[in-house]
Amino acid sequence: MAKFNYLITCAGWEDRFLDGLKSNIKSHDFTKIIVLRVNEFTENTKANLSKLRELLSDDGFQEIEIFLLDDAKTWKILDALFSDLAISNKSLCIDITTMPRFLIWFVMHFSEYYKNNTAYVYFQPERYEKCEWLTSDTEEPRLVFKHSGIFLPDQPTVLIIQTGFDIERVNQLIYSYEPNKVYLGAQVGEQFNNAIENLRKHKEHLQYQEIEYFEIDAFKGDYGYASMERIILDNKNTHNIIVSSFGPKPASLAMFKLNQEYPEIGLSYVLVKNYNDCYSHGTDVENVISIGLNDL
Amino acid sequence: MNPFVFSGASNLTNEQILTLFIHDHNYSRFIQSKRNFFFWGERGAGKTMTLLYNKLVMQNDVKDSISNNSPIKYIPVYVSCITPLVFKREYLLLGSEFQASVVSEHYLALSMALALIDALIEIPEILKLIDQAELRLELNYLLDSELPDADNVLKSIKLFLRRQFIQTQQKINSPESDSFYQDTYTFSSLLMPLMDIFRSMKMMHDLHFIFMMDDAHDLNSSQRGALNSWIAYRDNSSFSFKVSAAKVSDYSLATTSGGAILHGHDYISINMEQDFQNFDSAYGKMAKKIISKRLELAGFPKDFDSSCFFPVSESLDKDITKCKEKARILAIEKYGNNDSKKINDFVYKYGRAIYFRERSSKANRVQYSGLETIIHLSSGVIRSLLEPCYVMYDDMISETGSLNKIDKIKPSIQADVIKRLSDRFWERLRHGVDKELPDCSVKQAEQVSYLFHALADLFRNRLLDPDCSEPRAIAFTISAKTDEIMSELQPILNLARSAQLLYVRSGTAKDGGAKEDYYVPNRMLWPARGLDPVGQHARVSIQASKLVGAMHTGKIEYTPQCVSMSPSGNTIQADMFNG
C-alpha cells in the first residue's frame, strides 16, 4: 500500500469515478482527498457526488469548484489551491480517468511547478458502447496556458492528433489552425486497421488534408511518447507543431512530457460542453494504469 | 497529380500561383492603390490567392524598376493572420487588460515586421540599393540591440525578429502565472521607423508599403482593434492595408480608442463573392476559365472546351431538351407565336421545372452532371467548384487505373460524386453542426437542421407546383422582420453561414430598387433532395416569423399558388409569404 499526501480526482458521471476512487482508497493511503468539480457539469455529477458523501462524509474530502468555459479562472483556482495548501514537494496521486484533458494538463502544470512527486492513475471501463455521437456543444480549440508552444509566423503548421472516435473534433482543429499536414495517431490493433481502411473516407471528411497515420498505444509502453517524438524531431525546425488528444487519456501525459522536453510544441484542446453519458460502462479495477512522468 | 487540387493557396508555390490564377479577376486596381481596402469573402472564395498573386506581380514590378534604375513605388507585404500565434491566450492570466492588449499588439507588430523583411528578402535585387553598413548602424540604434551576423543585413534583421518571437514566448510561457514580457513593440515603435529607414534610401523615397492582412477575422479582439486604429491613420502616403476577412457577423470595426473605422472614409469594401445565374455571368465565366486552366496543366490543349471534360448525361440532356420543347409549346399556346421574349422567359422558367415535375416518383435519381451543373453547385465559391472536380478525377483514376486514359469524366461518376457530396451535407445536418462548429448548442444545431429541411420541402413544393410562377427559385429574402423575431432567427442564420450551409448576397430589392440582403442555401444541398441546383433568377420572400417557426417544426406551410393570366399575358401571383 503506497502512501500519498494527496489524491486529486475529478467528479464525473461515469461508473469509473466512484469505482476508481474506491479502488484508490483500498489500494493506497491518502492524507487528503481533493475532488475537483466542474461547475458546468454540476447536474451530471450530482448523483455520484451524493454517493461520495455517503462513502466518505463531508470531512473526508475537499471539493473544489472549477470552471470549464472560464479556464483562466480555473487556472487561478488551481494556482491558489496548490499555494494555499502548500502542495509542494509532496507525494500526489492524480486520477485522470474522469478529468477533461485541459484539466489534466493544468493539474500536471502545477504538480510539476511545485515539484511534487506524482503518480497518475487511469481506469479503463469494462466496455464501451457504440454511440451515434460522443460529444457536442464545443468551443473553439484552445492552447494550454504556459504550454502553448513557441511559434514563428513564417513557418507552416503541422498537427499531431491522437484520434478517438470523434472525427469532427479533428476537423475542427484543421479548420482553426489550417495546418499543411496532419499526423493522426490511431490506437494500435483493430482501431488502427480501421483508420487505414477508412483512409479514403477520412480524407473526404477532412477535406483532403495531407494525412499521415501513425500507431500509438495509449494503454501501455511509453503511451505514444516515442512515436510522437519522432514526428516532432522531423518537423520542429521547419514547422509550428500543435499536439492534441482525443483518444485514451494516458497519451495526454506523454504529450505533456513531450512539451516539457520540446517547449516549441503547443498543447491544444477542444472544450466540450455536452458528453454522451452512455458511452462507457463499468470499471476495470483489475488493470489500473499507473504512470509516473519519469517512466516515459 | 490531380489537376483540381484545392488545398489552400498558401500551400502553392509561386509558379503554381502565377500559373493557376485567372488574370481577368485580379483586383489589381484596388490592391495596387494607396487606399485601405477590405476584401470580404467566405473561406474558399479566393482571397488568399488574389493577395498572393498580386504580391508576386508587384514583386516583379519592383525587380523591373531596379533593373531600369527607376524609383520603386510599392513593396507588397503579405501577412497571414492565421498562425498559431493568434491562438495564444496567456494574456488572459494577466491582471490588466492593458497588459493583455500590449502583448497582443506586440505579436502582431512583430509578425508584420517579419513579413516586411521577408518581402524585401524575396527581392534579392533590392540589396543593390541598400548601404548595408549604414542600415545596420541605424537598426542597431532603433532596436537598441546588436543585430546578429548573417549573409546580409536583411537576414540579420530577420534573425533578430525571430529571436524576439522566441524570447517573448519563452518569457510568457514561463510557469509563473503572471509572467509578462516588458520589451514590447508596437506599430509606431517598430513598423513606422522601419518603413522610414527604408524610405530614406535611394530609389525608395516614394515607397509605399502595402500590408496585405490575410484572414484578419482570425486576429484576437485587441489585435483587430489595433489594426483598425492603423487603418484610421489618415496619412496613406507610406503605407496602406488590404485586409481580407470572412464577413462574419461579429467582425468589429472598432478602434482601440473607442471609435470605429468608416466605409468610404477610412476604407473601401470589396465583396469577393458574386452571385451568378448562368454560364455567362462573371462568376460562370471565371469558373470555366479556372477549369480550363487546370485542364491545360493536365496536358489538354489551351482552347479545349472544358464542358467536354464534364459532359452532361445523355439521357438528362435529352429529357431536359424535350421538356424545354414542351414548355415552348405551352408558351406559344399562351402568348402566340410572335412574342419571342415571353416565350423564351417561359421556357427559362418552366422548361427545367417540367423535367423535375414530370419525373416518375419511381425513377432513379437525377443524373446530375455537366460543367454548368457543377458550377452552379459551387454556390459561387471557388473551393466548392474544385472539390467535386477533384473527387470526380480521383474516382475516374480509380476506375480506369491509369492517368493517361482520362479524357473526360463519365456522367455516371459525376452523378455519383455529386450524390455523395450532397448526402454529406444532410449527414452533417443529421449529426448536428454542433459537432463541428464552436459555440453551437445541440438545440441550435437541431434548429439549423429543421430550417434546412423546411426550406428543402418548400423549394420542392414550389418546383412541383405547376402554378408556381418562380418554381426553381432556391434563394430567399426575409420580410416582416422585427427585432424580437430576428434576435431568435439571426443566430441560427449565422451558424448556418459559419457551416457554409448558407451564403448571404446583396441584390436589388423589388420595391424601390434599394439594395437588400438575400440568402442562398449551399446549392450542393439540393441534389440529395431531387431539386434543381441550377435555380433561377428569383427569390422567395419569406416572413421572418415563418422561418422561426421552421426552426422549431421543420416545416414552412406552402399554399399552392394561384397564377392567373392578365389580359396582357403577364402572370400575376399572390405573394403568400408577405400576407
Containing structural domain, residue B484? 437-579
pLDDT attached to residue B568? 36
Instruction: Kindly determine whether residue B89 and residue A242, on different chains, have CB atoms separated by under 8 Å.
Output: no
pLDDT attached to residue A200? 56
Query: How far apart (Å, rounded) are the C-alpha atoms in residues A192 and A260?
Result: 28
Instruction: Kindly determine whether residue A72 and residue B115, on different chains, have CB atoms separated by under 8 Å.
Output: no
Residues A48 and A68 in one domain: yes
Average pLDDT over residues B226-255: 87
Which one has a higher pLDDT value, B3 or A142?
A142
Query: How far apart (Å, rounded) are the C-alpha atoms in residues B252 and B245?
Result: 11
Instruction: Kindly determine whether residue A178 and residue B90, on different chains, have CB atoms separated by under 8 Å.
Output: no
Residues A61 and A156 in one domain: no
Q: Is residue A133 part of a domain?
A: no
Burial (CB count within 10 angstroms: exposed 0-12, middle 13-18, buried 19+), residue B202: exposed
Q: Is residue A19 part of a domain?
A: yes
Taking only the tens place, the pLDDT of each residue in A71-109 is 999 999 999 999 999 999 999 999 999 999 999 999 999
Q: Where a domain ends, among B271, B292, B311? A: B271
pLDDT attached to residue A195? 60
pLDDT attached to residue B506? 79
A239 close to B (CB below 8 A): no
Average pLDDT over residues B381-410: 86
pLDDT attached to residue B334? 87
- Which alpha helices (H) appear in B46-125, and where do they start and end? 47-67, 97-121
Which one has a higher pLDDT value, A101 or B280?
A101
Residues A11 and A110 in one domain: yes
- Which alpha helices (H) appear in B246-309, and where do they start and end? 282-297, 306-309
Query: How far apart (Å, rounded) are the C-alpha atoms in residues A253 and A225?
Result: 9
Instruction: Kindly determine whether residue B439 and residue A240, on different chains, have CB atoms separated by under 8 Å.
Output: no
Residue with cell 494500435: A188
- Give exposure, B469-498, as e/b (b: 16+ Cβ within 10 Å): bbbbbbbbbbbeeeeebeeebebbbbbbbb
The answer to which of A54-68, B264-278, B290-304 has the lowest mean pLDDT is B264-278
Share of chain A above pLDDT 70, in %: 90
Instruction: Kindly determine whether residue B431 and residue A132, on different chains, have CB atoms separated by under 8 Å.
Output: yes
* Total of domains in chain A: 2
Instruction: Kindly determine whether residue A274 and residue B442, on different chains, have CB atoms separated by under 8 Å.
Output: yes
CB within 8 Å of B262: residues ≥ 6 apart: none
CB within 8 Å of B236: residues ≥ 6 apart: B34, B35, B36, B208
Taking only the tens place, the pLDDT of each residue in B345-391 is 889 889 999 999 888 777 778 999 999 999 999 998 888 999 999 99
**A176: chain B residues, CB-CB within 8 Å:** 87
Residues A119 and A196 in one domain: no
Q: Is residue B444 part of a domain?
A: yes
State the CATH number of the domain containing residue A121. Answer: 3.40.50.11700
A76 close to B (CB below 8 A): yes
Average pLDDT over residues B179-199: 92
Instruction: Kindly determine whether residue A178 and residue B82, on different chains, have CB atoms separated by under 8 Å.
Output: yes
Closest Cα to residue B463, out of B565, B312, B351? Answer: B351
Which one has a higher pLDDT value, A93 or B568?
A93
CA of A258 vs chain B CAs: smallest distance (Å): 15
pLDDT attached to residue B564? 39
Residue B528 pLDDT grade (very low, low, confident, very high; cuts 50, 70, 90): very high
The answer to which of A271-285, B93-107, B477-491 has the lowest mean pLDDT is A271-285
The kind and range of the H/E element at B332 are helix B314-335
Comparing CB atoms, the residue among A148, A157, A263 nearest residue B90 is A148
Q: Is residue B4 part of a domain?
A: no
Query: What three-state secondary structure class fits A152?
Result: coil
pLDDT attached to residue B569? 35
Using alpha carbons, list the distances in angstroms from residue B32 to A139, B209, B272, B417, B459. Answer: 39, 10, 17, 40, 44
CB contact at 8 A, A37 and A124: no
Instruction: Kindly determine whether residue A152 and residue B82, on different chains, have CB atoms separated by under 8 Å.
Output: no
State the CATH number of the domain containing residue A212. Answer: 3.40.50.10770
Instruction: Give the chain A residue nearest B398 (alpha carbons).
Output: A200
**B431: chain A residues, CB-CB within 8 Å:** 132-133, 168
Query: How far apart (Å, rounded) are the C-alpha atoms in residues B152 and B121?
Result: 10
Comparing CB atoms, the residue among A72, A168, A177 nearest residue B436 is A168
Instruction: Kindly determine whether residue A274 and residue B7, on different chains, have CB atoms separated by under 8 Å.
Output: no
Comparing CB atoms, the residue among B114, B174, B177 nearest residue A153 is B114
Q: Is residue B319 part of a domain?
A: no
Residue B248 pLDDT grade (very low, low, confident, very high; cuts 50, 70, 90): low
Residues A194 and A248 in one domain: yes
Q: Is residue A134 part of a domain?
A: no
pLDDT attached to residue B404? 66
Q: Is the pLDDT of residue A197 over 60?
A: no
Q: Is residue A167 part of a domain?
A: yes
Instruction: Kindly determine whether residue B89 and residue A142, on different chains, have CB atoms separated by under 8 Å.
Output: yes
pLDDT attached to residue B246? 86
Residue A292 region, left (φ>0) first, then alpha (ψ -120 to 50), else beta? Answer: beta
Q: Where a domain ends, among B271, B302, B330? A: B271
Instruction: Give the chain B residue nearest A166 (alpha carbons).
Output: B435
Q: Is the pLDDT of residue B575 over 50?
A: no
* Total of domains in chain B: 2
Q: Is the pLDDT of residue A9 over 90?
A: yes
Quote the Cα angle for B114-B119-B121, to 5°: 95
pLDDT attached to residue B510? 66
A113 close to B (CB below 8 A): yes
pLDDT attached to residue B566? 34
Q: Of the spans A264-278, B2-16, B75-89, B272-286, which averages the highest pLDDT?
A: B75-89
pLDDT attached to residue B27? 82
Q: Is residue A30 part of a domain?
A: yes
Q: Is residue B228 part of a domain?
A: yes
Instruction: Give the chain B residue nearest A240 (alpha carbons).
Output: B84
pLDDT attached to residue B271? 82
CA of B456 vs chain A CAs: smallest distance (Å): 23
Q: Is the pLDDT of residue B562 over 60?
A: no
The answer to which of A270-284, B24-38, B188-202, B346-360 has the lowest mean pLDDT is A270-284
Which one has a higher pLDDT value, B41 or A280?
B41
A141 close to B (CB below 8 A): yes
Q: Is residue B293 part of a domain?
A: no
Containing structural domain, residue A201? 140-270
Q: Is the pLDDT of residue B285 over 90?
A: no
Q: Is residue B311 part of a domain?
A: no
CB contact at 8 A, B153 and B159: no
Residue with cell 399554399: B559
pLDDT attached to residue B405? 67
pLDDT attached to residue B137? 94
Q: Is residue B18 part of a domain?
A: no
Which one has a higher pLDDT value, A130 or B120?
B120
Residues A123 and A186 in one domain: no
Residues A160 and A182 in one domain: yes
Average pLDDT over residues A262-267: 98
Between chain A and chain B, the number of residue pairs with CB atoms below 8 A apart is 134
Q: Is residue B283 part of a domain?
A: no
Q: Where a domain ends, among B271, B294, B328? A: B271
